[in-house]
Amino acid sequence: MFGSLKTVALAALSGFLLLAAQTAEAAEVRAPVVVELYTSQGCSSCPPADAILAELAERDDVIALSLHVDYWDYIGWEDPFALASLTQRQRAYARSLDRRTVYTPQMVVDGTYDVIGSRPRSVANALAMARERPSVVAVDLSERGVRIGDGAVPEEGAAVWLLLYDRWHETDVRRGENAGRSLGYAHVVRDYRRLGDWSGSSAELSIDLAAARAAGRSGAAVIVQTEGPRRVLGAAALRFE
C-alpha cells in the first residue's frame, strides 16, 4: 500500500485509537462514526492522512470516506477523483464550522469536529468525542434500499445523503507536488447526491445499487445529517464486495 509512509502513520495512530475503542465500549449503542477526509493528489501534505484514512476504512465502527477536492488541480496535476460537488461540500463545512477557509488534509468527524488529517492524536481524540454521543436516528442500508427510523429532528432540519465509493485506487502521479510518487487511496467517493429530507418519522428510500455495482462502485454510505452540513444524526454503509 503506502510502504514505509503507511507504517509510520499507522504506528503513531494505533496507540491513540485505543482511547476511541475504550470510549466506544462505555458509550451507548450508536452508528459507526463518519470520517470524511478532504484530500487531493496535488497536495504534498495529504499522503500521511490518506494512510490514516486507509486504516480507518478497515474498521467496522467507522465509515471512512475519501473525498477528493478540485482546487489543487491548478498546480499542474488534475486529480482524477476530484469532484466539484465535494469541494462545495467542504466549503459548506467551512461555513458551518466557522472556518475562514478550506484546507487539505482536513478530516471532518461526524460533521462536528474537524482536524488536520495527518495528526494521529487529533484524529483519535475527535473519534473518541464522537463516540460519546449516541446516534439520534437508526439507519439501515441493504440491497433493498435504506430505512430510517423515528427521531428528533433539529431546528435546522435534516438531509439524507448518498455517497458511492470505490474500495481502493492507486495512482502514479506525474506532475505537481507529488510528482514521481505512487499513491493509494481507500474508499474514494465517486458519486455524491442528496436523497431527500428527513422529517423525524420513519421512512424508506429506494436506491439503485445494481446500477452502482455496474458502474464499478465498491460500496455505499447513507448519512442522515443536520442541514449545514452539521452533526451526523445517523449513518450506515454497505460494502458490495
Q: Which three cell numbers stand for residue 219?
A: 460500496
- Long-range contacts, 81-85 (Cβ 8 Å, 24+): 81/41, 81/169, 81/185, 81/188, 81/189, 81/190, 82/40, 83/189, 83/190, 83/192, 85/192
Question: In 3D, which of 148, 217, 212, 157 has the Cα closest to residue 187?
Answer: 217
pLDDT of residue 184: 98
pLDDT of residue 9: 52
Burial (CB count within 10 angstroms: exposed 0-12, middle 13-18, buried 19+), residue 158: buried
User: Which portions of the chain are predicted below pLDDT 70?
Assistant: 1-29
pLDDT of residue 241: 73
pLDDT of residue 19: 42
User: If you compute the radius of gyration of the chain from its CA atoms, what whole number of angstroms results?
Assistant: 17
- Rounded-to-integer distance, Cα 88 and Cα 108, Å: 14
The pTM score is 0.89
Contacts of 23 (CB under 8 A, 6+ apart): 128, 131, 132
pLDDT of residue 77: 95
pLDDT of residue 24: 41
